Structure 1
Amino acid sequence: MTPKPQLSFWQIWNMSFGFLGIQFGFALQGGFMSRIFQTLGAEKDSLPLLWIAAPLTGLLVQPIIGWFSDRTWHPLLGRRRPYFLIGAVLSSIALVFMPHSPALWVAAGLLWVLDASINISMEPFRALVADKLPEQQRSYGFVLQTLIIGIGTWVASNLPWFVAQMGVPNEAGPGVVPPSVKIAFAIGAFVFMASILVTVFTTREYPPEDLEAFRREKRDQGNFIAGIVHHVAHMPAQMRRLGAVQFFSWLAFFAMWSMATPGLTEHVFKAPAPDPAAFDMSVPAQAAAFQSANAAFQNAADLVGSYMGYYGLSSMLVALLLSFYAARFPLNRKAVHFGSLLLGGIGFLSMWFVPQPSWLILSFALVGVSWASILSMPYALLSSHVPADRMGIYMGIFNMFIVIPQIVAATLLGPALRHFFGNQPIYALVISGASLVVGALCLARVREAAYQDTPTAHLQQVH
């Protein structure tokens, strides 16, 4: 196999830039879907189950896209970029329509479409780093992706708040999503499409060395269901060990995405979502009371989204530091991941007893340290153990360890809160903290590859 050339900073940046749009989609979904659901009348203990669309679509879509992207070669768009483009078009459409949902079931259905579309774009991006970069640049590449993800998370999480500061109304009638959220989602759709196009137009992929042999081999490998089952059964041992770490890591973040809005608006801001059925809108005093309670909830929800953005900002800064370090020195990926998960666990646990809302900035900053590591270190620890010609399918299968814990949380978190924690959603974030600590302990079984990243010549190209 021909050795892969080292890439410059800007080449790696451009090939990863599409992740900005993907993270705009994920951050708007993660920060504001529960707000949309509650505005449309969802009960707080039903929110995790409404969120089940996200992990289920990932479970189905990512291995399939990984399988097909390994077997694709388009003369103009290459192997991974066709999937970037298809996912971006579908995601942008779903983002535009999502906040205009007239009923709860419509919003839940659009979440299925949105998450499936984001997954179509996202899965090939992980494989593209391994496709394009030599071994000694992969940690650097994954960390640079995380830097871009952090930028996207911080900006998108603050979009409704920023739009409201520009004078767009942040309130609406019962069952109607505020205009500030609608405009934020429209901006997210534009950024998603534009950033994917940057990667599509600035990045070229390496064609198979023997195109006819590539096509013949892929034709002879049977159907994708049998292929996925075979690869699951024969996954590398390192993937199974990392799977336990991923399980507890992503259970923690799913609990945050689905329950942070009700948990923090209720426990920290003392402004829970009002139930329209509890107010008689024909009585002026009752209608005014609802409007006042709803305004308090919407404003608190804006601030929760804004504070959540600090985990994106923190992850961006951590990724920046790691990228400078990984470009110059060997990086002990296992040790970095262990420490990061512990700090994230402390951040989640601290949310239960913050003395005032502004302290959530520090809590989410600690969560961001773990987020930066979760988005880079597991993939760097895995990539050395996966055959290059099956990178797409194995990255897709690896993401099963992301979506399975989310399915577990979606089905069990609501009943657990209801039966064991007095239906207080703040305890979902306490569960998140404990889960990250357990994930850190599971790293004891993970091997750091014998190969360590070494200082690379691309340093001379980073200015």
Structure 2
Amino acid sequence: MNKRKLSFWEIWNMSFGFLGIQFGFALQGGFMSRIFQTLGADKDAIPYLWIAAPLTGLLVQPIIGYLSDRTWSVRWGRRRPYFLIGAILSSIALFLVPHSPVLWVAAGFLWILDASINISMEPFRALVADKLPDSQRSYGFVTQTLIIGIGTWVASNLPWMVSQLGVSDAAPVGVIPMSVKVAFAIGAFVFLISILYTVFTTTEYPPEDMAEFELEKKKKNQFIPDILNNIGNMPTTMKKLGLVQFFSWFAFFTMWSLANPALTEHVFDTPAPVEANFNMEQPASATAFNVANTAFQKSSNEVGRYMGYYGLSSMAFALLLTFYTSKKRINRKFVHLGSLLLGGVGFISMYFIPSPIWLMGSFILVGFAWGSILSMPYAMLSSSVDPKKMGVIMGIFNMFIVIPQIIAALGGVNFAYKLIGEQTINAMIVAGISLIIAAACNLLITNKDAITYIPKVTE
């Protein structure tokens, strides 16, 4: 199919729903560990509690990719029904998460939230490949990254912003502060509205061969064989990109799960108070706990605010690439390699910074890596696979995102950082080393179409 080139605003509209998706991911990534700690979780148990995120991705994304490849509605298209279903479920879960009364309820809501976000997210990746000609793929994925950057920065700042407006950070033992509850409610609203915007402003191409498409839909019990067949026949470039993704996502899972305990302890010197260390029946001891807990909650707001800078820098990075790739070709491999190296330096620098303000620079460097991770691997992949299987391929590619996170959650992060020392801040050093390894793995990619798209004379 000859696909026409889309304008910036058409690409913007089809990508805008990612603003809401990233509100969900940023609130989850920046504040779930804080919620777990507030409800009494030990910091070494936090990665285990995060197992929901990668497991739901592993299960949900290939299924949704497979189903969306086989969906077509004249009114709703192929991918948009999944955007909408995921948005409704995600918005409900986002609103309820900070109202969790106990730890196991919060962990359960994380399962629901992450599964729901994945229902919306996977088809968005496939939509770019569906709608855009190959010459605009980098442009499309980078535009998505621009919107993701905006979402990351705003959502990461929400609890701090709400607190600045006078909403309290203080709360009784085991209760999530009102500032976090209000921030998650705002996130739920933005999630739903942004998805609705994309659903109602974007159209989709019908299947190229409708007769063949209908025949394919009628085949029974093909899901598992098709998935296994596509895994077994995975292109070499996809395998190499998978290695890059493995170390990249190990690093970012480490940040999401342990940045809050690591930085509140090492940089702000306000670790989460452990209730067992205080005699809550004595007024003085109870007051000391409340003071320490409020200090922890406020420094957690600050950690979230500084983490927002990685969204801001990824946005700037994406904006630069958006304008550049709209006119010229880029070497995707070396852009990705350099960006991951900068992110690795950013993580490692967190150990050495003399005061919290320096976290701004650390997370800005991390943002360059994040901006590239969200665009370059997908642009390289989409130029080297069968477009008819784009949904299921994108879902399978997600294995290289979730498997490293599962390994990290099941003790990989704790094991790796404790090889350096007992301090939680060492987890950020592990994240930095992991990104540097990911950068080096880019040198394995040799497929010319994946590295740099060269327009054909007939296009």
Instruction: Tell me how far 1:211 sits from its aligned partner.
Output: 2.3
Q: 1:31–1:257: 8 Å Cα contact kept in structure 2?
A: yes
Corresponding residue of 2:74: 75
Percent of aligned pairs with the same amino acid: 66
Matches within 5 A, 1:119-130: 119-130=118-129
1:15-68 CA-to-partner distances (Å, cap 9, x unmatched) read: 000000000000000000000000000000000000000000000000111111
Q: Does 1:109 align with 2:114?
A: no
Instruction: Tell me how far 1:422 sits from its aligned partner.
Output: 4.6
Deviating above 3 A after TM superposition, structure 1's stretches of 4 or more consecutive aligned residues are: 417-423, 450-456
Cα separation, 2, equivalents of 1:156 and 1:240: 33
Cα separation, 2, equivalents of 1:26 and 1:182: 16
Q: Which runs of 5+ in 2 are unaligned?
A: none
Corresponding residue of 1:436: 435
Cα separation, 2, equivalents of 1:198 and 1:175: 37
Q: Does 1:265 align with 2:264?
A: yes
Cα separation, 2, equivalents of 1:83 and 1:350: 40
Instruction: Tell me how far 1:342 sits from its aligned partner.
Output: 0.3
Corresponding residue of 2:344: 345
Corresponding residue of 1:249: 248
Q: SS state of the match for residue 384, structure 2?
A: coil
1:149-188 CA-to-partner distances (Å, cap 9, x unmatched) read: 0000000000000000011001101000000000000000
Corresponding residue of 2:422: 423
Q: SS state of the match for residue 235, structure 1?
A: coil
Corresponding residue of 2:237: 238
Instruction: Tell me how far 1:328 sits from its aligned partner.
Output: 1.3
Instruction: Tell me how far 1:415 sits from its aligned partner.
Output: 4.1
Q: 1:247–1:439: 8 Å Cα contact kept in structure 2?
A: yes
1:60-83 CA-to-partner distances (Å, cap 9, x unmatched) read: 000111111101112211100010
Letter in 2 for 1:208: P
Cα separation, 2, equivalents of 1:283 and 1:208: 70
Q: 1:160–1:302: 8 Å Cα contact kept in structure 2?
A: yes
Instruction: Tell me how far 1:210 sits from its aligned partner.
Output: 3.5
Corresponding residue of 1:174: 173
Instruction: Tell me how far 1:444 sits from its aligned partner.
Output: 1.1
Corresponding residue of 2:218: 219
Corresponding residue of 2:194: 195
Q: 2:237–2:447: 8 Å Cα contact kept in structure 1?
A: no
Cα separation, 2, equivalents of 1:78 and 1:245: 33
Corresponding residue of 1:18: 17
CA 256–47 in structure 1, closer or farther in 2 if over 3 Å, else same: same
Q: SS state of the match for residue 281, structure 1?
A: coil
Corresponding residue of 1:326: 325
Q: 1:45–1:423: 8 Å Cα contact kept in structure 2?
A: no
CA 417–284 in structure 1, closer or farther in 2 if over 3 Å, else same: farther
Q: 2:264–2:300: 8 Å Cα contact kept in structure 1?
A: yes
Cα separation, 2, equivalents of 1:155 and 1:108: 24
1:225-266 CA-to-partner distances (Å, cap 9, x unmatched) read: 111111111111110000000000000000000000000000
Instruction: Tell me how far 1:280 sits from its aligned partner.
Output: 1.1
Cα separation, 2, equivalents of 1:288 and 1:145: 47
Corresponding residue of 1:153: 152
Cα separation, 1, equivalents of 2:250 and 2:152: 19
Q: SS state of the match for residue 352, structure 2?
A: coil
Corresponding residue of 2:97: 98
Q: 1:413–1:428: 8 Å Cα contact kept in structure 2?
A: no
Instruction: Tell me how far 1:425 sits from its aligned partner.
Output: 1.3
1:357-415 CA-to-partner distances (Å, cap 9, x unmatched) read: 10000000000000000000000111111111100000000011000000010012454
Cα separation, 2, equivalents of 1:148 and 1:299: 28
Q: 2:383–2:449: 8 Å Cα contact kept in structure 1?
A: no
Corresponding residue of 2:314: 315
Q: 1:46–1:414: 8 Å Cα contact kept in structure 2?
A: no
Instruction: Tell me how far 1:9 sits from its aligned partner.
Output: 0.6
Q: Does 1:381 align with 2:373?
A: no
1:87-126 CA-to-partner distances (Å, cap 9, x unmatched) read: 0000000000000000000000000000000000000000
1:172-208 CA-to-partner distances (Å, cap 9, x unmatched) read: 0100000000000000000000000010000000012
Cα separation, 1, equivalents of 2:154 and 2:188: 14
Q: Which runs of 5+ in 1 are unaligned?
A: 457-463
Q: 2:417–2:430: 8 Å Cα contact kept in structure 1?
A: no
Q: SS state of the match for residue 173, structure 2?
A: coil
Cα separation, 1, equivalents of 2:449 and 2:391: 23
Q: Does 1:391 align with 2:394?
A: no
Matches within 5 A, 1:297-312: 297-312=296-311
Corresponding residue of 1:39: 38
Q: 1:417–1:428: 8 Å Cα contact kept in structure 2?
A: yes
Corresponding residue of 1:228: 227
Instruction: Tell me how far 1:455 sits from its aligned partner.
Output: 8.7
Q: 1:95–1:185: 8 Å Cα contact kept in structure 2?
A: yes
Letter in 1 for 2:16: F
Letter in 1 for 2:349: S
Q: Does 1:143 align with 2:134?
A: no
CA 426–418 in structure 1, closer or farther in 2 if over 3 Å, else same: closer
Cα separation, 2, equivalents of 1:379 and 1:415: 30
Q: SS state of the match for residue 168, structure 1?
A: coil
Q: 1:158–1:305: 8 Å Cα contact kept in structure 2?
A: yes
Q: Does 1:295 align with 2:294?
A: yes
Letter in 2 for 1:57: T
Letter in 1 for 2:46: L
Instruction: Tell me how far 1:223 sits from its aligned partner.
Output: 2.2
Cα separation, 2, equivalents of 1:76 and 1:432: 45
Matches within 5 A, 1:409-420: 409-413=408-412, 415-416=414-415, 420=419
